[in-house]
Structure 1
Amino acid sequence: MTISKIKELNEYQKAAVQNESRACLVNANVGSGKTTVLIEKILHLHNKKNIRLQDMVVLTFTNKAADEIRERLKGETAESSEPVGSDELWGFGTFHSVALRLLKEKLSVEELGYTKDFFVIEPDEELEIAESLISENKLKIKYKNRLKKRLEEEMSGSSQGRRKTGPQDDLSELAGLLREEKRRQDKMTFQDLLANACALLRKERRKPAWIIVDEVQDCDEWQLEMIDCLMGEKTCLFAVGDPNQVIYSWRGSAFQVFYTLKTKYQADELSLPVNYRSGGIILEAARRFLQSSQELTGVREAGEKIAVRNHYDPFQEADYLSDKIAELNSRGIPYSDIAVFYRLQSQSGILEDMMARKGIPYEVSLKKTIKDIPVLNWLVKLLRFSLNPRDVQAGVCVLCDRDYGAGITVKEADRYIRAGLEEAADQGLDGPVLAGTGEERKLSGKAGILLKAMLGFRNRWKEYSKAGPEDFADRVMEYFDLDTYLRPSFASFAADRESVRELLKITGDYICEEGAEELAGMGEFLNSSALYGINILKKEIHSETDSVKLMTLHASKGLEFSYVFIIGVNYGLIPLRTKSFEEEEEERRLFFVGMTRAKDHLEISWYTSPGQPNVMPGPGRYLNMIPAHLKEGGGIGPGQAAASGEVRLQELKREILKNREKKEEPNIKEESSKEESSSTKRVSHKKYGPGTVEKEDDTMITVLFDDYGRKEFMKMFSELESI
């Protein structure tokens, strides 16, 4: 019997776990124990209702969330005769990973024209295939800069049944050709995984007993469709989410998910209103950003007020934050309890440089995956074509690549690959291929050798797959003679070689761990890397590492820290400039998510001089939405940063941004004398407010404004008034 902790739950959590209805939606506020309730529900069904784990499908939105649920369930079911992961029928994982496994293992994907060895590709590769089809078939396509979005709509069928009022071109014909070409090359996109799984699930008579969904508010139309396709007459649904945390609508998240599911399945709707994470003051401030009238209560004491800081610009702020974090650590606060959130990934650079300069350990949540590294993107295509010669597009990309391939034209590569495949078909793919064919001889040496190696790789697979990770990497590199293709004379050679070898080691480790000595094992790895990415640069955060966490507000979702700093709350950053009411509402929800990551201490800052285009100086309006009695002011003011710290600020800029042109250090005595001579003269401007005159002559006047930094005017048109 597995162990349940239901006695430790509050009344709202117990009501959700013990709910007996066929469909139940749980509106879970931030910090209310959502994951605990989800796991307790699974245990309750397993222990009390005798539902086998194999008869449940648990759907999440991140692999990390799926792994967390698995690990926690494994601990609870350690002595069970049916541990998690034993012969899963439906599966625990993301929507896409569950769809992938069903298509590979359970559903008759052959009915759709695919084989069980199909590969998963990213949307960018689908676009490459589409562009190739446009060229081959001389199709007329308008607005090619919007082709990706238009194709998604056309392929999903969202445009069906509507009278065409948009551009009249060959888009429908392209969509049909693209579907056929993907079948021919045995490839599916992420959207295809869900669409094809849904098409086959509709025909399945056997359905899961229970569907359990985490973060249901993030479902898009295809994910809602997959839920519906999994539902049978006796299937039950339990879904948990928070409408106030819808922050991914740009990915296609459907609006009003709770209303849609509640109406469709006549679901009970329960709530988890009690927040166990944040102090009372943080929660009271966060309530100002809720977009519904739902209750949000906490059990913790009020705690400290929210600190609001004004920094002259991001450089001065990075200097301040580094010193502040070092001081917190000296008081015994672990670095891992501290996080800095920002709106755009580009904001992390200054923080990284300053913390590295001051010896503060940090980690950046930046998922730079295989497709972001050119040499690895090329290597993956090489392996894919080697395993699946029908993937002509990948083979063409390998041979045409000017940096790592042969640099030949698309037409040449396509012609020779097709000729090679015909020769290979005559000889049999398991035998030697391209043994000196005429087409191979027409290729320049590097291209011919590479093509022959790719088409012959399947013959070496079993031998290589039995080696350990290190040996596997060495053998594959030697077989393809990769050192030759990684440009030994280039400065990037060492880094490229290290990245390639690291990826091959990860591949070999996966194959050895899974015991996958067949070609399918390699395919599974490549599909997994396409679905989840492999953070080859290891730029992702690890909660157990004692380091400061730097991340975007989006990346902060689901995490919590004792000390949280949210930087850049200026209009144009937080919130970003938006084009619609819906986008503005999402910006508010995103700020709400960031605030509620803080357990004990929250500090919010803004810039006098943001230094970024389209970002307004001065505090953003979100700061005005927080009541004054919840805020603690102080900190570094703009006058101090701009006047007394200007010289030091310029020095920091020169050190941090080495690629900037060096600036001459200002004369300290000269600047001081100017400030002293004019510091007694205060003026006011109807737009910029009060300020101090720095410099003045017969025609020009320079003013350092308290909230907007330094401005220069012609005296005749300055509109300045003495105060």
Structure 2
Amino acid sequence: MELYNEKELDRLNPYQKEAVLDESPACIVNANVGSGKTTVLISKVQYLHHVKKVNYEEMTVLTFTNKAADEIKSRLLAAEPELPVEKLRGFGTFHSTALYYLREYLPVEKLGYTRDFLVIDPEEELELALDLIRQHKLKIKYKNRLKKRLESAMAVRGEEKKVSKYQDDIFDLVRLLREEKASQDKMTFFDLLENANLLLREEIGNSPSPKWVIVDEVQDSDSQQLVFLDRLVSRGANLFAVGDPNQVIYSWRGSAFQIFYTLKHKYRAKELTLPINYRSSSSILEAARCFLQNGSPLTGVREPGNKIIVKRQYDAFQDACYLAGRIKKLHREGTPYGEMAVFYRLQSQSGMFEDVFSREGIPFEVSLKRTVGDVPVLRWCIRLLRFSLNKKDTPSGIYVLASREYGEGISEKKAKEIVCNSKPGASLLFDKMCGFSRICEELGDEEALFSYFELERYLNPVSASYMEDRDAVHRLFQIMFDYVKEQQENREAGMRAFINSSSLYGLDVLREEISEEKDSVKLMTLHASKGLEFSCVFITGVNYGLIPLKTRDMDGEEEERRLFFVGITRAKDRLELSYYTNPGERAMPGESRYIRMIPPRLLEGEEERGPAVSLQELKRQVQEQRTQVQERSLQEQKRSLQEQERSLQEQKRSLQEQKRSLREQEPAPTKRVRHPRYGTGVVVREDETMLEAEFEGYGTKEFIKAFSELEYI
């Protein structure tokens, strides 16, 4: 049966079809928000496979989230139920694909690794770095920013550039850390791409040479990911990349607004556009156009629909109470809870809505990235498994045995002696970890694994958290065995892949990630909303200082505007914005200029508004607001200094009065003397030839002045 034919192409609009059929060596697709980007990407993969006869194994499909990669693979598998999942192993995030190449193709032995290396998170790398600083007595400044400093130092190319501006040993630390990770068979996220890029630079016969490289959300690429992309394309692969420059919201991570321009000119790529938005009403799209930055067309196919509602609230509590009532009303009218979402700029803003919604009985979920590292018992279990699978990982073995909450409860020194000297019989748990590889294939489920390590005794049954810890560990092991089964590998290799996956993506085993299927209101930051859509969206706290945040320069301001664009284009039918008259210290009272940028005819609110603000006027207002903030800050500093000066004057007067009072009250001056043996003492009695002094600890001593060795103080 033909799986991909003309009927599939007929479902696409002309712009989408042009992108799918294009056979240029390099093609960059500017996919506007809601324009069917994922549909085009998947159709491109199917077209290449079924029509152009390109094997799936000859394609590398790169995404920025595990969720996006899973969606692409699940839709392909749904269309072809007989398709073996291992044929799609080149489909994944940049980091997971680099991991796949390093494990399967690239000669990691040249870098001192084995193919069984494990992935660690940045926190564990930081632990290693601090340990190396202590061991080698390195001089490292600003340790509170060590993680960031390591990232910057690792990215430096060329030995001549490796000079610390702080005159410390940061580059020596980077070298030692690289050697230590290799000796322990560990790589971080950064190392996965860095090592893959290093090995891909060489002409190696067995290294991957895909015919097609397909990239989703290409605008989010950082410099390291662009190098990875270039290494693959330089081997003769065709490039097909889709993305939206108006959704560059991760510049702090290294992505840049000019990536489309860079890729287009570097690879002489053909540029196509997907301009038609199928998601939002035309009123919402018209408002969104006010925040476009690259002049690309954004065309909708839907009716105007509801006006955008703007609400003025006193503070976040009043807003949360209003939203609770509004959400209940919309739900009674037929809108599912799962089709409503509340967006805010900062994660700290969610608490108020959680409290009020809980009190009002509104089901909700909070989008909050939590990993096993956030749960002590799971962090301990992961380290337990890591050492069991990799005996070179001595820090994990020491951590497991010396843990105060779990483990053997022994000192770190003793744990280090047991692990480093591989002393059998010194610890039951250590023996279990060392024997894990021999018994691994016989452990059929989570209960067997739990029993093998005798975790019942290590989870502290008398502690208040015992039941919660026990359930969390069982859940972790269950997820791991399900993962191993899906991977269709032997159990030990599958567990190793699971540990790597948990480091790459994190695992929340206590609370599921927000589910689009669950009927509950979603609470999330604007950043977390990217890639999602809802019938009704509430964006809260649209005050200057929150939306947008105060930024240092115009680049930051432009990214804040793109972030707001992402937020409002998540809405399909209804969009509501709120601002506060009493927002707290972080923000300024009153509506943000972003609200004034939207044409008044699109808005429904409590007051008349002036005309919409142009981009030039916006820049002028930004400068005025910055000036006002600076002036207000200077005035506040001036007032503070004046108050400090007044306070100092008052303190000075008070001290002078106290001195006068003490002078009036104090007795005649007391003479003090110092003796080489008795120390400092107080003169009790004195005449022309004799002196008697009292010394603390020695009592009263009498001296002949001429021979006393006393010194007056």
| Alignment TM class, shorter chain as reference | 0.7 to 0.9
The aligned residue for residue 641 of structure 1 is: none
Deviation at 1:633, TM superposition (A): 0.3
Q: Match of 1:310, SS?
A: strand
Deviation at 1:221, TM superposition (A): 1.0
Give the distance between the partners of 1:304 and 1:53, measured in 2 at CA. Answer: 44
Give the distance between the partners of 1:344 and 1:233, measured in 2 at CA. Answer: 43
Deviation at 1:188, TM superposition (A): 0.5
Q: Match of 1:180, SS?
A: helix
The aligned residue for residue 289 of structure 1 is: 291
1:269 equivalent to 2:241? Answer no
The aligned residue for residue 609 of structure 1 is: 582
Q: Deviations for 1:94-116, whole angstroms, at most 9, x for unmatched residues?
A: 11111111111222222221111
What amino acid is the match of 1:587?
E
Deviation at 1:306, TM superposition (A): 0.7
Q: Deviations for 1:604-632, whole angstroms, at most 9, x for unmatched residues?
A: 00112224x32222222211222222110
The aligned residue for residue 540 of structure 1 is: 513
TM-score normalised by L of structure 2: 0.81
Q: Match of 2:138, SS?
A: coil
The aligned residue for residue 209 of structure 1 is: 211
Provide the aligned length of Structure 1 versus Structure 2: 602
Give the distance between the partners of 1:513 and 1:301, measured in 2 at CA. Answer: 44
The aligned residue for residue 446 of structure 2 is: 473
The aligned residue for residue 221 of structure 2 is: 219
Deviation at 1:158, TM superposition (A): 4.4
1:344 equivalent to 2:311? Answer no
2:211 and 2:236 in contact (8 A); partners too = yes
Deviation at 1:78, TM superposition (A): 4.5
What amino acid is the match of 2:435?
G
The aligned residue for residue 259 of structure 2 is: 257
1:463 equivalent to 2:442? Answer yes
The aligned residue for residue 542 of structure 2 is: 569
What percent of counterpart residues are identical?
Answer: 57
Q: Deviations for 1:196-232, whole angstroms, at most 9, x for unmatched residues?
A: 1222223334511110000000011111111111124
1:61 and 1:94 in contact (8 A); partners too = yes
Cα 1:29–1:119 change in 2 (3 A) is same
Cα 1:265–1:84 change in 2 (3 A) is farther
Deviation at 1:146, TM superposition (A): 2.1
2:543 and 2:579 in contact (8 A); partners too = yes
Deviation at 1:483, TM superposition (A): 2.9
The aligned residue for residue 127 of structure 2 is: 128
Give the distance between the partners of 1:546 and 1:183, measured in 2 at CA. Answer: 47
What amino acid is the match of 1:288?
C
Q: Match of 1:195, SS?
A: helix
- Unaligned 5+ segments in structure 2 are 608-627, 629-713
Of 622, 631, 635, the match for 2:594: 622
Q: Deviations for 1:553-607, whole angstroms, at most 9, x for unmatched residues?
A: 1111111111111111112221122233322221111110000011111000011
1:307 and 1:602 in contact (8 A); partners too = yes
What amino acid is the match of 2:303?
E
Give the distance between the partners of 1:458 and 1:163, measured in 2 at CA. Answer: 42
Cα 1:500–1:233 change in 2 (3 A) is closer
2:9 and 2:17 in contact (8 A); partners too = yes
Of 301, 304, 312, the match for 2:303: 301
Deviation at 1:515, TM superposition (A): 4.5
1:71 equivalent to 2:50? Answer no
Q: Deviations for 1:130-188, whole angstroms, at most 9, x for unmatched residues?
A: 11011011111112122212211222334755373611111121111111110110000
Cα 1:354–1:539 change in 2 (3 A) is farther
2:459 and 2:470 in contact (8 A); partners too = yes
What amino acid is the match of 1:556?
S
Give the distance between the partners of 1:173 and 1:233, measured in 2 at CA. Answer: 34
The aligned residue for residue 504 of structure 1 is: 477
Greater shift in the superposed pair: 540-549 or 399-408? 399-408
The aligned residue for residue 553 of structure 1 is: 526
Give the distance between the partners of 2:450 and 2:58, measured in 1 at CA. Answer: 44
What amino acid is the match of 1:2?
L
The aligned residue for residue 58 of structure 1 is: 61
Of 36, 45, 69, the match for 1:42: 45
Of 559, 562, 569, the match for 1:589: 562
Cα 1:33–1:129 change in 2 (3 A) is same
Give the distance between the partners of 1:569 and 1:243, measured in 2 at CA. Answer: 23
The aligned residue for residue 113 of structure 1 is: 112
Of 21, 31, 34, the match for 2:24: 21
Of 495, 508, 511, the match for 1:522: 495
- Unaligned 5+ segments in structure 1 are 424-433, 441-447, 636-686, 688-723
Greater shift in the superposed pair: 62-71 or 509-518? 509-518
Q: Match of 2:529, SS?
A: coil
The aligned residue for residue 11 of structure 2 is: 8
1:370 and 1:376 in contact (8 A); partners too = yes
The aligned residue for residue 403 of structure 1 is: 405
Cα 1:163–1:473 change in 2 (3 A) is closer
Q: Deviations for 1:283-331, whole angstroms, at most 9, x for unmatched residues?
A: 1111111122211121112222110001122222111111111111111
Cα 1:3–1:84 change in 2 (3 A) is farther
The aligned residue for residue 606 of structure 2 is: 634
What amino acid is the match of 2:189?
F
The aligned residue for residue 87 of structure 2 is: 87
Q: Match of 2:343, SS?
A: strand
The aligned residue for residue 248 of structure 2 is: 246
Give the distance between the partners of 1:145 and 1:64, measured in 2 at CA. Answer: 33
Give the distance between the partners of 1:624 and 1:126, measured in 2 at CA. Answer: 46
TM-score normalised by L of structure 1: 0.80
Give the distance between the partners of 2:150 and 2:182, measured in 1 at CA. Answer: 17
The aligned residue for residue 186 of structure 1 is: 185
What amino acid is the match of 1:210?
W
1:363 and 1:539 in contact (8 A); partners too = no
What amino acid is the match of 1:527?
N
Cα 1:78–1:385 change in 2 (3 A) is closer
1:59 and 1:95 in contact (8 A); partners too = yes
Q: Deviations for 1:430-482, whole angstroms, at most 9, x for unmatched residues?
A: xxxx03xxxx3xxxxxxx33333322333332221xx2xxxx32333333332
Give the distance between the partners of 2:197 and 2:308, measured in 1 at CA. Answer: 48
2:540 and 2:577 in contact (8 A); partners too = yes
Deviation at 1:513, TM superposition (A): 4.1
1:53 and 1:84 in contact (8 A); partners too = no
Cα 1:503–1:255 change in 2 (3 A) is same
Q: Match of 2:355, SS?
A: helix
Deviation at 1:93, TM superposition (A): 0.9
Deviation at 1:346, TM superposition (A): 2.0
Q: Deviations for 1:6-59, whole angstroms, at most 9, x for unmatched residues?
A: 222222222212222110101111011111111121122223322122211111
What amino acid is the match of 1:218?
D
What amino acid is the match of 2:165?
G
Give the distance between the partners of 2:435 and 2:354, measured in 1 at CA. Answer: 46
Q: Deviations for 1:343-391, whole angstroms, at most 9, x for unmatched residues?
A: 1222222222222222222222222121111111111011111221110
1:385 and 1:392 in contact (8 A); partners too = yes
What amino acid is the match of 1:568?
G
Q: Match of 1:491, SS?
A: coil
Q: Match of 2:204, SS?
A: coil
The aligned residue for residue 170 of structure 1 is: 169
